[in-house]
Amino acid sequence: MAAPPSPALTTHAEAITHLSLDPVMAAVIARVGDLPVLPPTPDPFTTLVRSVTGQQLSVKAAASIYARVQTLLGAVTPETLLAADPEALRGAGLSWAKVRTVQAIAGAAQSGAVEFAHLGTQDDEAVIAALLPLPGIGRWTAEMFLMFGLSRPDVFSLGDLALRQGLARLYPETPPAEVLAAWAPYRTLAARYVWADKALARAGGAPV
């Protein structure tokens, strides 16, 4: 029987203490400051659809397109997505690839191929395995969903270019596997700090 998933963090105190045992990460945390605790989504289906619509877009552009999709559909549900004219979804701002993906997500939800209501009870790899068969869903998308949708505490996506660059910048002499092993079981928060530190560096608030 698979182990139950690790629960979402309700506070970062213990995670910060653990991550700060690493002096490099301790300096990152000091530079960045507190990050908000992320609660798990009450609606995994809609969260995944919204995540897909916003991929490779700025936050502002993603919000604008999702708002147009909501206006078009009235409510974002498997039924409304499957009933929508693909041309209308394209007109709302989705690329053809994203139209295919969100309608595939809707089809999987409606058929029960992916039981979104039960994803929160499955371990990380089971969630990834459930999502990967959907067109347009790769491991990176599934890992982002685990991190920001289900608020899993121990996910670090090596498929994310910014995270790989962050590791190379912060730990030029240390193998990534060694760094990640030291951060477990709080690698999600570590990833968020690596992202935040990179953003701070770009803004001129920290050395690159």
d(CA 102, CA 99): 5
d(CA 24, CA 168): 12
Q: Which alpha helices (DSSP H) does 55-202 contain, by range?
A: 59-73, 78-83, 86-91, 96-111, 124-131, 139-144, 161-170, 176-183, 187-202
d(CA 73, CA 82): 10
154 is catalytic: no
CA dihedral 138, 159, 161, 94 (to 10 degrees): 10
198 Cβ neighbours under 8 A, 6+ residues apart: 162, 165, 166, 169
* Residue that is written with structure tokens 């989504």 in the block: 41
Q: Which of 19, 9, 3, 5 is nearest to 151 (CA)?
A: 9
Q: Which of 22, 123, 160, 197 is catalytic?
A: 160
Q: Which residues are catalytic?
A: 160
